[in-house]
Structure 1
Amino acid sequence: MLGGGGGGQGGSGQELRAADSAANKREFVVNVESSSSNRHSLNLRNSAFFIPPPPLTITTAHPEERGRWETVVLAYKTLGVVFGGLVTSPLYVYPSMPLKSPTEQDYLGIYSIMFWTLTLIGVVKYTSIALKADDQGEGGTFALYSLLCRNMNIGILSSKQAQTNSSLSHSVLHGSTENKSRLGIFFERSIVARRVLLFIAMLGTCMLIGDGILTPAISGSEALFADLGHFNRSSIQIAFLLTIYPSLVLTYAGQTAYLIKNPNDHDDGFYKFIPTTIYWPIFIIATLAAVVASQSLISATFSVIKQSVVLDYFPKIKVVHTSSNKEGEVYSPEVNCILMILCVAVILIFGDGKDIGNAFGVVVSLVMLITTILLTLVMIMIWRTPPWLVAIYFFIFFTMEGVYASAVLSKIPEGGWIPFAISFILAFIMFGWFYGRQKKIEYELTHKIDLGRLGILLSEPGIQRVPGFCFFYTNIQDGLTPILGHYIKNMKSLHTVTIFTTLRYLLVPKVAAHERIVVNKLGLEGVYGCVIQYGYADSLNLEGDDFLSQVTDSLQLCIQNCSGCVTSDHEEVQEEISTFEEAKLAGVVHIRGKTRFYIGNNCGWFERSMLAFYEFLHSNCRSALPALGVPLPQRIEVGMLYEA
């Protein structure tokens, strides 16, 4: 089916890799030596397809070293966004405990547990270890999974074997098995182990999102790691070690000292130990702090969902970058609205704060336990930490958090089932999307069109080259989308100038104008390749003559440089350039694909139900392509059914 309108085949962040070939085709690439340099060189080389240039050496949005004052300002901001929930914990910790006739030993024991939990989990695990396991500045459970996938070949979706721009060694990913740990080799060879790892990462992500729903009433420390993308490592460490940790230790000590003298006041232990003269000011401050406490986990929810979308494990949603120089600061209006609705529903259904507290305890314990497991894998497979250190880390934290988790699991009938229900719904959405994407990628890689096949299609009788300038969007690695063959067979034509275009998302704020467009010849008459690179703060607008002029200028430069290396008649070059101008005058069109699954009778009930659910998600989510600003009269949408 053909029609105007939106929808799209292709994807932001897609990256095409080189295919080896002896074909004598030429590529024009601008190699950028550094982001701060304007020097560039032209590199002509043999290529079998249109490929993005080698990884650009561009300063990322997460520099390790910031100005001293900037770090201090960020540390101040973390007090509300990252630690807003953690610092309000004295309001409800003692009141939530079912204490009956507590003694001095009981209170000292409780304080001892809180002190060592804050010290070991807060200071040692998260501040000293977990913050170093960031994935290009992002934190959280799914960032740990992404970090493992980037540095080891353990991903599930082959289309998302993302380029590694982190400080970790590139040789870890592409080195021989001799440089890899035995555990890493095991995960690479075992599809079952990789699926279990994906399930654990999904469970942790869903639990954290559930935490974001429950947190407007209560809070947890996982935000310290999950909110890393909104700030940086140094600012979070400074804020926690110099202000949050000592403040909480002293506050709990003061509460405990008061309750030892007044053992029956534990139900309202925070407000009663405040001196009468400053009671109301503290009450107002505490109330305002409780109002903003949810910001930490809500921000973390935005981050983990954005990570899931980038890795193609979650349906496409609108993600707004709220900072022009920090890629991790994001906001999603759709997720924010859903969180609001679910939060209100939880409060209306379970008005008792104890039930919500029980649900929150289950979430926090399980998420911390999952983080410990994933951090252990990072230590073994990526950091190559000495085994005895890994064993000490795993034994201490898995035992501690395992005890906490087993204790709160007894609260499942008393509200603890809420996060499991929320996590099951979210996990079902993630798995349904993952299953459909995996099936679609398998089909596309099996039926992709290579240059040889494209040449055969164009040489068939009845196929005509119609006047016009066409941008045909594709995202298949080392090939062209199957929609191209479907289009040529049914339309019996291809435009005289056809540019197969791929959008490449880079983790930088903006891509310089001279780096944005990469073009090359594909060796067939009137057929070219183009990669458009853009950053998260770029306004990607393909409307108007400016974009068209940039592409044609790049193509002309490519042809002229190719003619200098290959024996070619100058008149032929001029003729090819004039063909561009004629095609532009004939009209410009942007062709994108929209695919659906054809579910035949040979599919089982499970495959039928999962693909039907995927189609529902796909038809109600945003397009994989960003808003390109292409005028409606220039859009053509090509529909195709993929046989399941």
Structure 2
Amino acid sequence: MSSDGVSTHTDDTNLDDVVIPQENPQLNGRSLSWTKLRRVDSLDVESASLGHSAATAMGGGMGWAVVLQLAFQSIGVVYGDIGTSPLYVFASTFTDGIKHNDDIIGVLSLILYTLTLIPLIKYVFVVLRANDHGDGGTFALYSLICRYVKVSLIPSQEVEDRDVSTYQLELPSKSLQRASKIQAKLENSNFAKYALLFATMLGTSMVIGDGVLTPCISVLSAVGGLKEATSHMTEDRIVWTSVVILVTLFMVQRFGTDKVGYTFAPIIFLWFSFIAGVGLFNFIKYDTSVIKALNPIYIVDYFIRNKEQAWISLGGAVLSITGTEALFADVGHFSVRSIQISMCCVTYPALVLAYTGQASFLRKNNHLVANTFYESIPGKMYWPMFVVAVAASVIASQAMISATFSIIQQSLSLGCFPRVKIVHTSNKYPGQVYIPEVNYLLMFACICVTLGFRTTAKIGNAYGIAVVLVMALTSTFLVLVMIVIWKTNIVFIILYILIIGSVELLYMSSVLYKFDQGGYLPLAFAMILMTIMCTWNYVYRNKYYFELDHKISPEAMREIIGETSSPRLPGLAVFYSELVQGIPPIFKHYVGNVPALHSVLVFVSFKSLPISRVPEEERFLFRRVQPRELQVFRCVVRYGYKDVRNEEVPFERLLVERLKEFEESGGGEVGDLDRAWRSGVVHMVGEHEVAAAKGAALWKRVVIDYGYNFLKKNLRHSNRVFDIPHKRMLKVGMTYHL
């Protein structure tokens, strides 16, 4: 395709990207959203953000049978990582042995309060409430903030956003001046807008990096345990066996969270039952006095006795909460209520019993701290526990893999990640997705890390940095949500910062101590991902502003059509773009090359809203370009970042049916539309080439001409995302000089 011409597309590649949901059979008879919106300008009216109710997000819209079913599934998907931490936490904390017997109680107290404050109180009872209509993760928090505060760098918000159902915006009253002032400062500060987006990308990148580290350390630690069972397992054999298991693990991801969850859940549930039972046995058998760990004064005594070494040992204690971010990031695969039930009823009690039992054992066996977990298992339970431990360690990888799929889907919809294929793996639970390209890239990265590091020591050092940094970023966003959206009492906000924030900062200071011992690994992954995301988002925004600056006005539109010498051809032409505030400049370029127009023209703009889902009946927003006899329409098609498109319902048919409803609602005739549709539909897709403008800075030329274009050429094209029939599609080429 030339950069400034028109080409016919004949590629028959199958379209199985995100596809449009099936038409709602209950739609007939409903009043559509466009009848409620004020008519300002026929080309510049913006669409609104919608989503399903908070009750559905919490799980309140589901029956208890479904909630319990999801709670069981979540055990196999969400908790594998945090659930297998008892394998190595005490050994990682007491790397130099136990110096004082009461240090065991001090560390146990530290672990118990960390588990209670971070996974239980912070995530289960606070952070999960900040879900974006059922979806979690860093980008969900960012999109939630964007909906209430105009901090998005894409100028797509309009007053009409607040007029549509379930948008749930609340204007601050006089008694809520604090929220109003913070909101105004954020909206008027470009630095704040860029800082929020940067923090969002950083948090997302760290979670994805965690998705690489978790499989590596889990599988290596599992297979490494075979050394105790047989002397034939050399280091090389352990590494290559781990690689084989990793490949198998990533290959089963295509079956979806639903099937994977049902497969893994019984094993992890058995694992929690075993560690809880063994923990209770050891607590009764060895030393029930460890119950004193409920008194936090033992944490203070531990630091007084050990000083700097106690601070360094926090890097081991923090491993007790690895995988906690999966509680929030994976909520879209399940529901808030199901995560709360599984955590409170299964995971938390089992972990408390496991760590308490190990502490009781160590009080009588200080010298066995290097292999606490296996040494504390009663003789007859050793081999069953070993088998289940190996399986559970492998399954632990699933939590962060699923979380990675979820957050990439969100970042893709918000223009912060290159186009990739989204496969929705469950008809029952729309939040469950699989991304083939990302899956294979994760697998490749895991294999490289496993072959490169070969042991879990350096990977373990890297683990803590990724975990604590993401938690700190989540807390930062949560404080903004508390102030601007929830309007939380300032006393509770201060308490949250002083308690939760202080704990996380203390842990962060400790894990950064081991930066040069492998801690640089997640930051290296994050920098690579940040480069990709920033490059894509930078050009994405500049393309949008270019089209916005060069959009065609209603007057120019009438002139262009009037100057076209050729007669209007029978049929319907659909022009696609992402510009929602007018006619894209590529239309004039098309008319200049092909001076003929169809009898009906529809300009379709796809818009991703900062919300998880948009109800089908409010997805299409139409406007007619005056005068009526031009037969020109604009359509904004609105999607949330979790919306599913369904190949079984062609977008073309949905578009025409909604357009007919729009005409009928305005007292118009649909005869011309019917005749145009029967004559044939042609789909015009802008194939935009981008290049740095003449005289642009060197960094800008590198980003646009090399970075962005490399990503664009090696990933999916726009027509494959828009679900456009290949045999009736024309590509209109045009170069944007940014």
Quick one: which amino acid aligns to residue 726 of structure 2? L
- 1:402 to 2:505 alignment: yes
Q: 1:283 maps to which residue?
A: 386
Q: 2:208 maps to which residue?
A: 209
Q: 1:111 maps to which residue?
A: 108
Q: 1:352 maps to which residue?
A: 455
Say whether the 8 Å CA contact 1:226–1:300 is kept in structure 2.
Answer: yes
Q: Relative to structure 1, is the Cα distance of residues 561 and 108 closer, same or farther in structure 2, using a 3 angstrom cutoff? A: closer
The within-5 A match list for 1:543-622 is 547=652, 562=666, 577=671, 581=675, 583-584=676-677, 587-612=680-705, 613-622=707-716
**CA drift at 1:418:** 0.5
- 1:40 to 2:40 alignment: no
Quick one: which amino acid aligns to residue 711 of structure 2? L
Q: Relative to structure 1, is the Cα distance of residues 462 and 388 closer, same or farther in structure 2, using a 3 angstrom cutoff? A: same
Say whether the 8 Å CA contact 1:541–1:629 is kept in structure 2.
Answer: no
**CA drift at 1:383:** 1.1
**CA drift at 1:184:** 1.9
Using the alignment, how far apart are the partners of 1:53 and 1:334 within structure 2?
32
| 2:398 paired residue among 289, 292, 295 | 295
Using the alignment, how far apart are the partners of 1:445 and 1:174 within structure 2?
34
Q: Relative to structure 1, is the Cα distance of residues 141 and 627 closer, same or farther in structure 2, using a 3 angstrom cutoff? A: closer
Query: What's the secondary structure of 1:284's corresponding residue?
Result: helix
Say whether the 8 Å CA contact 2:358–2:376 is kept in structure 1.
Answer: yes
Q: Relative to structure 1, is the Cα distance of residues 3 and 72 closer, same or farther in structure 2, using a 3 angstrom cutoff? A: same
Q: 2:145 maps to which residue?
A: 148
Listed one character per residue, the Cα deviations across residues 215-274 of structure 1 (whole Å, up to 9, x for unaligned) are 112442111111111111111111111211111111001111111111111111101110
The unaligned stretches of length 5 or more in structure 1 are 15-31, 565-572
Using the alignment, how far apart are the partners of 2:65 and 2:632 within structure 1?
53
Using the alignment, how far apart are the partners of 2:152 and 2:325 within structure 1?
24
Using the alignment, how far apart are the partners of 1:634 and 1:175 within structure 2?
57
Q: 2:73 maps to which residue?
A: 77
Q: 2:341 maps to which residue?
A: 238
- 1:320 to 2:423 alignment: yes
Say whether the 8 Å CA contact 2:51–2:614 is kept in structure 1.
Answer: no
Query: Percent identity at matched positions?
Result: 36
The within-5 A match list for 1:125-524 is 125-159=122-156, 169-172=168-171, 180-216=179-215, 217-218=217-218, 219-460=322-563, 462=565, 464-503=567-606, 521-524=624-627
Say whether the 8 Å CA contact 2:614–2:638 is kept in structure 1.
Answer: no
**CA drift at 1:288:** 0.6
Say whether the 8 Å CA contact 1:325–1:509 is kept in structure 2.
Answer: no
**CA drift at 1:474:** 2.8
Q: Relative to structure 1, is the Cα distance of residues 521 and 13 closer, same or farther in structure 2, using a 3 angstrom cutoff? A: farther
**CA drift at 1:327:** 3.0
Using the alignment, how far apart are the partners of 2:599 and 2:717 within structure 1?
28
Q: Relative to structure 1, is the Cα distance of residues 198 and 91 closer, same or farther in structure 2, using a 3 angstrom cutoff? A: same
Q: 1:568 maps to which residue?
A: none
| 1:539 paired residue among 646, 650, 658 | 646
Quick one: which amino acid aligns to residue 331 of structure 2? L
- Deviates further, 613-622 or 502-511: 502-511
Using the alignment, how far apart are the partners of 2:407 and 2:153 within structure 1?
18
Q: 2:244 maps to which residue?
A: none
**CA drift at 1:387:** 1.3
Q: Relative to structure 1, is the Cα distance of residues 56 and 118 closer, same or farther in structure 2, using a 3 angstrom cutoff? A: closer
**CA drift at 1:437:** 0.9
Using the alignment, how far apart are the partners of 2:604 and 2:683 within structure 1?
10
Q: 1:2 maps to which residue?
A: 6
Using the alignment, how far apart are the partners of 1:309 and 1:174 within structure 2?
35
Say whether the 8 Å CA contact 2:47–2:161 is kept in structure 1.
Answer: no
Using the alignment, how far apart are the partners of 1:406 and 1:496 within structure 2?
67
Using the alignment, how far apart are the partners of 1:555 and 1:307 within structure 2?
29
Listed one character per residue, the Cα deviations across residues 482-534 of structure 1 (whole Å, up to 9, x for unaligned) are 1111111232232222222344679899976x877665532242323345677
Using the alignment, how far apart are the partners of 2:725 and 2:396 within structure 1?
44
Quick one: which amino acid aligns to residue 345 of structure 1? C
| 1:527 paired residue among 632, 649, 670 | 632
Using the alignment, how far apart are the partners of 1:479 and 1:138 within structure 2?
31
Using the alignment, how far apart are the partners of 1:584 and 1:390 within structure 2?
58
- Deviates further, 212-221 or 328-337: 212-221
- 1:632 to 2:628 alignment: no
Listed one character per residue, the Cα deviations across residues 308-333 of structure 1 (whole Å, up to 9, x for unaligned) are 11111111111111222433211111
Using the alignment, how far apart are the partners of 1:242 and 1:498 within structure 2?
58
**CA drift at 1:41:** 4.0
Using the alignment, how far apart are the partners of 2:686 and 2:150 within structure 1?
29
Using the alignment, how far apart are the partners of 2:345 and 2:165 within structure 1?
28
Using the alignment, how far apart are the partners of 1:578 and 1:369 within structure 2?
58
**CA drift at 1:132:** 0.4
Using the alignment, how far apart are the partners of 2:560 and 2:172 within structure 1?
38
Using the alignment, how far apart are the partners of 1:233 and 1:75 within structure 2?
9
Q: RMSD in angstroms over aligned alpha carbons?
A: 3.4
Q: Relative to structure 1, is the Cα distance of residues 88 and 628 closer, same or farther in structure 2, using a 3 angstrom cutoff? A: same
Say whether the 8 Å CA contact 1:521–1:528 is kept in structure 2.
Answer: yes
Quick one: which amino acid aligns to residue 611 of structure 1? I
Quick one: which amino acid aligns to residue 539 of structure 1? N
Query: What's the secondary structure of 2:89's corresponding residue?
Result: coil
Using the alignment, how far apart are the partners of 1:330 and 1:346 within structure 2?
25
Listed one character per residue, the Cα deviations across residues 610-633 of structure 1 (whole Å, up to 9, x for unaligned) are 112122222222234555664433
Quick one: which amino acid aligns to residue 6 of structure 2? L
Listed one character per residue, the Cα deviations across residues 89-118 of structure 1 (whole Å, up to 9, x for unaligned) are 001112223123433122111111101100
Query: What's the secondary structure of 2:330's corresponding residue?
Result: helix
Say whether the 8 Å CA contact 2:602–2:634 is kept in structure 1.
Answer: yes
- Deviates further, 51-60 or 273-282: 51-60
Quick one: which amino acid aligns to residue 617 of structure 1? L
| 1:95 paired residue among 91, 94, 97 | 91
Using the alignment, how far apart are the partners of 1:46 and 1:484 within structure 2?
24
Using the alignment, how far apart are the partners of 2:714 and 2:150 within structure 1?
32
Say whether the 8 Å CA contact 1:12–1:504 is kept in structure 2.
Answer: no
Query: Whose RCO is larger (CA < 8 A, sep 6+)?
Result: 2
Q: Relative to structure 1, is the Cα distance of residues 184 and 609 closer, same or farther in structure 2, using a 3 angstrom cutoff? A: same
**CA drift at 1:156:** 1.6
Using the alignment, how far apart are the partners of 1:231 and 1:556 within structure 2?
37
Say whether the 8 Å CA contact 1:350–1:356 is kept in structure 2.
Answer: yes
- 1:642 to 2:736 alignment: yes
Using the alignment, how far apart are the partners of 1:179 and 1:221 within structure 2?
31
Q: Relative to structure 1, is the Cα distance of residues 628 and 125 closer, same or farther in structure 2, using a 3 angstrom cutoff? A: closer
Say whether the 8 Å CA contact 1:103–1:260 is kept in structure 2.
Answer: no
**CA drift at 1:464:** 4.7
- Deviates further, 585-594 or 257-266: 585-594
Using the alignment, how far apart are the partners of 2:667 and 2:324 within structure 1?
62
Listed one character per residue, the Cα deviations across residues 274-329 of structure 1 (whole Å, up to 9, x for unaligned) are 01011111111111101100111111111111111111111111111122243321
Using the alignment, how far apart are the partners of 1:599 and 1:510 within structure 2?
36
Say whether the 8 Å CA contact 1:150–1:163 is kept in structure 2.
Answer: no
**CA drift at 1:553:** 6.3
Q: Relative to structure 1, is the Cα distance of residues 13 and 403 closer, same or farther in structure 2, using a 3 angstrom cutoff? A: farther
**TM-score, with length taken from structure 1:** 0.86
